[in-house]
A and B are shown apart, each in its own frame.
Chain A
Amino acid sequence: MRRTGGNRVERAFELCCLAAVIVPLLFLAFLIGDVLIDAAGRMSWDFITGYPSRRAERAGILPALVGSLLLISLTALLALPVGVGAAIYLEEYGKRSKLAELIEINIANLAGVPSVIYGLLGLGLFVRSLGLGRSVLAGAATLSLLVLPIVILSSREALRTVPQALREACYALGSTRWQAIRRVVLPTALPGILTGAILSLSRAIGETAPLIVVGALTYVTFLPDGIDAPFTALPIQIFNWVSRPQREFLVNAAAGIVVLLVTMLLLNALAIFLRNRLQRRSA
């Protein structure tokens, strides 16, 4: 009798968990389906390779796409080395020191700061004080600050999963701390670190608010010709189209959303592919 009761509770709990998975997925599927239907009319090669126009049916998204790709590559170049370096310091060198504790509290707080605040910081620091102007570099630097706490926290988690026994094995073989980190700790933690990197860059590519504050343009008819060039990005372009009164631009916005989603998925797929290759080579 009690057995059956236990099983019933077990079953109910399982169903609740299943619902927790399915309900959000249904909403998401509905959303994506709706966007795809809206975008159907505009999804063409011309749209992807075209430049913005005042006439909705001729407007394309190329400058925003190139801007976003440039932005995200620069963000990765800036945020990943710094973030992983900081995680290595905190986890491998600075453990138990007062300085590390102080830094840790600050990082946890920074992770909760709204992104528009980072935008204001970027405007003050990179655009004005450092004189980078409203450039791709200033935007990427701002996004880097934004995702840095996530990169640091997830890299620390990954480093923490490396068993202490492996570090001891290195020391017992006569390696220095740096040699142990480079040859054993980092390679072992790499898949975890990359997962964190994927998550943080996915967040960065969808960010709009800080880029608006930093001064991304909304109507760009040229491609950025360097990291100091003015730029726009996919979320900004979408935001711009959505806020226009003409109904045709809404279709463009839907198509833009599809491009953004596909870009993000492709980047994630690339990162996961790289991670799996690294894992296979090293596992």
Chain B
Amino acid sequence: MAAAEIGLNETPAKFVARDVFAWFGDKRVLHGINLDIAANRAIAIIGPSGCGKSTFIRCLNRMHELVPGARIEGQIRLDGIDVYDGGVDPVRLRRRVGMVFQKPNPFPSMSVRENVLAGLRLTGSVPRAGLDETLQKALIQAALWDEVKDRLGDPGISLSGGQQQRLCIARALAVDPDVLLMDEPCSALDPIATAKIEDLIHTLKQSYTIVIVTHSMQQAARVSDQTAFFLSGDLIEFDETNTIFTSPRDSRTEDYITGKFG
């Protein structure tokens, strides 16, 4: 069944969103989003505050439903399988779809090492052997290994803000997801730390599908292959990043990227 559905679509997409509506209580914040996210690419989602871009990516890993009163309608398929199907365990889904948050949130009660391995520990799936390899691999992938290899036992919160955010990326990577969702990952960081994370995204998209929500149009232009522009809960335009920034089809997109509002 999954294969047949993919056959109907032109390209095999990692995530397929169809008519996604989302609510907080009585307030509808997404009005029927249709979006295909291709594998091993970086997709940027831009738009003014409150346009639903964070809500949308939180629908992808079923974090939206954790907010009291929040609900969603429509279909989201990951590799052809409806993630809102009754048989899908959101806990398992979230192990395949990692997430990095706006503010770095390392666990304050854990060391650098424990933070990276937290995903394995939390879920009780700790293979005794290979932990050190997992630790090193995740930290290297997050471009943090050289800075912390001599202080793995230090508290995670003793690192600088930018390092903490890369620690959170390493933590997300250690559970070996397919997709990495990033919700304004640089908004709390200085330009140098931001540049490091952006470099990282370039490397990571070779192995992972990346969806990044950002307030910064420059960032979207720098890191993403494709860009989606959200406005008031609607997807206005979705295209190659180059096209969006050089010749947008919709006048609202043009107004936003040229700084006329937002």
Contacts and interface: CB of A to CB of B under 8 A. Distances in A.
A19 interface: no
A163 B95 CA distance: 22
B147 to A, nearest CB: 20
B22 interface: no
Contacts, number: 77
B171 interface: yes
Interface string B52-95: 00000000010100101000000000000000000000011111
Nearest to A170: B122
B91 A175 contact: yes
A207 B110 CA distance: 39
Nearest to B94: A174
A259 interface: no
Interface string A255-269: 000000000000000
B210 interface: no
A183 B99 contact: no
B105 A173 contact: no
B130 interface: no
B155 A283 contact: yes
Interface string B94-109: 1100110101010111
A184 B105 contact: no
A2 to B, nearest CB: 39
A185 to B, nearest CB: 9
Interface string A132-175: 00000000000000000000000000000001011011111111
Contacts of A173: 94-95, 98, 118-119, 122-123, 171-172, 175
B176 to A, nearest CB: 11
B111 to A, nearest CB: 9
Contact of B122 (A168, A180, A190, A282): A180
Nearest to A283: B155
Interface of B is mostly: mixed
A65 to B, nearest CB: 37
Interface string A86-119: 0000000001100000000000000000000000
A172 B124 contact: no
A168 B105 CA distance: 9
A282 B66 contact: no
Interface in B153-191: 155, 168, 171-172, 175
Residue among A169, A183, A184, A282 with the highest chain B CB neighbour number at 10 A = A169
A165 B168 CA distance: 12
A58 to B, nearest CB: 53
Contact of B108 (A96, A168, A183, A188): A188
Contacts of B103: 165
A187 interface: yes
B43 to A, nearest CB: 18
B151 interface: no
Contacts of A188: 107-109
21 contacts: A95-B68, A169-B105, A169-B171, A172-B63, A172-B99, A172-B101, A173-B95, A173-B122, A173-B175, A174-B119, A174-B123, A175-B123, A176-B123, A179-B123, A180-B122, A184-B107, A184-B118, A282-B109, A282-B110, A283-B109, A283-B155
Interface of A: 95-96, 163, 165-166, 168-176, 179-180, 183-184, 187-188, 190, 282-283
Interface of B: 61, 63, 66, 68, 91-95, 98-99, 101, 103, 105, 107-110, 118-119, 121-124, 155, 168, 171-172, 175
Q: Shortest 3 CB-CB distances between A and B: which pairs?
A: A174-B95, A172-B99, A173-B119
Given A168-B66, A187-B109, 15 more contacts: A165-B103, A166-B108, A169-B101, A171-B94, A173-B95, A173-B98, A173-B119, A173-B122, A176-B123, A179-B122, A180-B122, A188-B108, A188-B109, A282-B109, A283-B108
